[in-house]
Amino acid sequence: MDEELELLMMEAEEKMEKSYEAFSHELVTIRTGRANPKMLDSVKVDYYGAPTPLNQIAGISVVEGRQLLVKPYDKSSLKAIERAIYGANLGLTPQNDGMNIRINVPPLTEERRRMLVKQVDKEAEEGKVALRNIRRHAIRDLEKLKLDEDNEKDCKHDIQKLTDKFVKKIDEAANAKEKDLMTV
């Protein structure tokens, strides 16, 4: 019985960790006023008929703090990369110089900052909902084990503590991102 309990707790923690990682990945794609190569993580390029992540067919680096430089490994993909960046609706304008693509990252307006903070809040809430769903499933699985009342109560408390730990991590990451966004 203890083995099943341990497995249940490990599984819940693993799922919560994955949920937190997914949330963290979403946060990285929300741009701040500074250039960051991860801003282009969501860009998929039609590369020989297959949608390919931009970072797999080009090197992406930051130049002068507010500019990204995209260096394609295959120069023939330059036009496709440019189209993909336009099509990703990131609010960025690629400039093709025939060899590379330069992207100037404009400073954020106050209004845009507030919109991005709302997006961070929305992502954080979705992350917390995912954690609560994992908690609910873990408690449901726990109840199937037919433990005595005290053991079940202790295990539910442990599952809640685990959930609280990950909710706190999400809150801390969201607050840090919001602070970063609002810093001019």
Name the nearest CA neighbour of 131 among 97, 178, 169, 101.
Answer: 169
pLDDT tens digits, the chain, 184 residues: what are they?
578 888 999 999 999 999 999 999 888 877 777 788 888 888 899 988 899 999 999 999 998 878 899 999 998 899 999 999 988 877 788 999 989 999 988 888 888 888 889 999 999 999 999 999 999 999 999 988 888 888 889 999 999 999 999 999 999 999 999 998 888 6
Name the nearest CA neighbour of 27 among 122, 157, 92, 167.
Answer: 122
What predicted TM-score, i.e. pTM, was given to this entire model? Answer: 0.74
Name the nearest CA neighbour of 58 among 94, 28, 92.
Answer: 94
Q: CB–CB of 102/95 below 8 Å?
A: yes
Domains of the chain, first to last: 2-29+109-182 (1.10.132.20), 37-104 (3.30.1360.40)
CA atoms within 13 A on the CB side of 63: 12
